[in-house]
Amino acid sequence: MYLGKNEIKTVAIIGTGVIGAGWAARCLHRGVDVCAYDPGADAEALLREVVENSEQAMEKIVDVPDAKKGKLTFVKSIKEAVENADYIQESVPEVETIKIPTLNEIDKYAKANAIIGTSTSGLLPSRLQSELKHPERFVVAHPFNPVYLLPLVEVLGGEKTDKGACDTAADFYRSIGMKPLMVRKEIDGFVADRLLEALWREILHLVNDDVATTQEIDDAIIYGAGLRWAIMGTNMTYYLAGGKNGMRHFMEQFGPALKLPWAHVEAPELTDELIDKMVDQTAEQGAGKNLREWEQLRDNCLVSIMKALSEFDHGAGKIIKEDLAIQTEKLGL
């Protein structure tokens, strides 16, 4: 029913903000044509700027000659974008009253065998597909910024989604160098964002209570746990911390600390004072470079970490090795 991964030649991108532009860049670099639509006045110019800026990082992972890259077309309507697309990725703002009508219009004009993916970071697929005429082909595909570099994409369906649609979507994402995480149950925030949200809430408490600045909190991650997370996440880190007896010893040793009042569960009240602290402190952190310079620094560091991991065929490094092999075969490099 659905097209195979090698049959997907054109992807429609609906919404070309940070996430949509990242999807476009990832697809284009791997030889997939992109037909994009966004109603914003400067949307096309900004999209092309992001695509161009992303190339310096992506070519270090998979070096694709210009002749093998996909073609970018920017159109003036959803209908024009999706009617000939083999796959559709919607990335409009994270508001149900915007997403649902947009998805309905996509569904109206899309080819019968085209899967519709949404880039939502937490909205439930069953609600988003509730008014679709063809809800069976709708999936959540939640990526992480920058989409053109980070391989993780959370994939799940709603109550009316065909399992085959999720499996086909996952195959497609693998073909463009991603690591699909199949979410077992429909749950608000999915898996990754629930973890990130817990950390974010504690950060807001630490800043609100003047325990630490945003820079000091970032340092706590950059020079410590963040380095381990890139290799083996949290659970394997703690498994190793338990020594020869593994996680059982770790739980026995550190489990009692869970009853201590170390971390908060509820977020602090988002007062104007707290917002001002977050804005002022992060602005101080970001001083000295413009947005694109910070993006390139981030991208270069991510590439270096992933390439270092690829030497050991591990973690995100394993994904980029697989991606290189896929693109070498697919594009005839």
Phi first, then psi: what are they for 95, rounded to 5°? Answer: -135, 125
Taking all residues of the chain, what is their mean pLDDT, rounded to a whole number? 94
Confidence of residue 129 (pLDDT cuts 50, 70, 90): very high
What is the predicted pLDDT for the residue at 116?
Answer: 98
Confidence of residue 169 (pLDDT cuts 50, 70, 90): very high
Q: Select from 124, 157, 190 the last residue of a domain.
A: 190
For residues 136 and 237, state if they share a domain.
Answer: no
- Flag whether pLDDT at 260 surpasses 90: no
> How many folded domains does the chain comprise?
2
For residues 254 and 139, state if they share a domain.
Answer: no
What is the predicted pLDDT for the residue at 189?
Answer: 93
Calculate ∠ Cα 115-117-122, nearest 5°: 150
What is the predicted pLDDT for the residue at 245?
Answer: 87
For residues 180 and 67, state if they share a domain.
Answer: yes
For residues 179 and 37, state if they share a domain.
Answer: yes
Query: What does 70-114 look like in DSSP terms, one character per residue?
Result: PPEEE-SSHHHHHTT-SEEEE---S-HHHHHHHHHHHHHHS-TT-
What is the predicted pLDDT for the residue at 192?
Answer: 96
First to last CA, the chain: 30
- Flag whether pLDDT at 76 surpasses 90: yes
Residue 47 lies in a domain: yes
Phi-psi map region of 44: left, alpha, beta (phi>0 left; psi -120 to 50 alpha) = alpha
Q: Between 315 and 262, name the one with better pLDDT.
A: 315
For residues 12 and 104, state if they share a domain.
Answer: yes
What is the predicted pLDDT for the residue at 57?
Answer: 95
Residue 272 lies in a domain: yes
- Flag whether pLDDT at 251 surpasses 90: no
For residues 168 and 251, state if they share a domain.
Answer: no
pLDDT in tens, 19-57: 999 999 999 999 999 999 999 999 999 999 999 999 999
pLDDT in tens, 280-292: 999 998 899 998 8
Confidence of residue 201 (pLDDT cuts 50, 70, 90): very high
For residues 12 and 159, state if they share a domain.
Answer: yes
Residue 333 lies in a domain: no
The enclosing domain of 298 has a CATH number of: 1.10.1040.10
Q: Provide CB contacts within 8 A for 231, sequence distance 6+.
A: 309, 314, 315
Q: Select from 159, 190, 221 the last residue of a domain.
A: 190
Residue 121 lies in a domain: yes
Distances (CA, A) of 252 to 47, 245, 246, 255, 266: 51, 10, 10, 6, 26
- Flag whether pLDDT at 255 surpasses 90: no
Q: Select from 144, 160, 190 the last residue of a domain.
A: 190
Radius of gyration of the chain (CA): 21
Domain ranges, residue 62:
5-190
What is the predicted pLDDT for the residue at 188?
Answer: 93
DSSP code at position 290:
-
Mean pLDDT of 246-256: 86
- The H or E element containing residue 205 is helix 192-208
What is the predicted pLDDT for the residue at 249?
Answer: 86
For residues 109 and 13, state if they share a domain.
Answer: yes
For residues 26 and 132, state if they share a domain.
Answer: yes
What is the predicted pLDDT for the residue at 268?
Answer: 85
- Flag whether pLDDT at 157 surpasses 90: yes
Mean pLDDT of 82-102: 97
Partnered with residue 90 across adjacent β-strands are 14, 118
- Flag whether pLDDT at 66 surpasses 90: yes
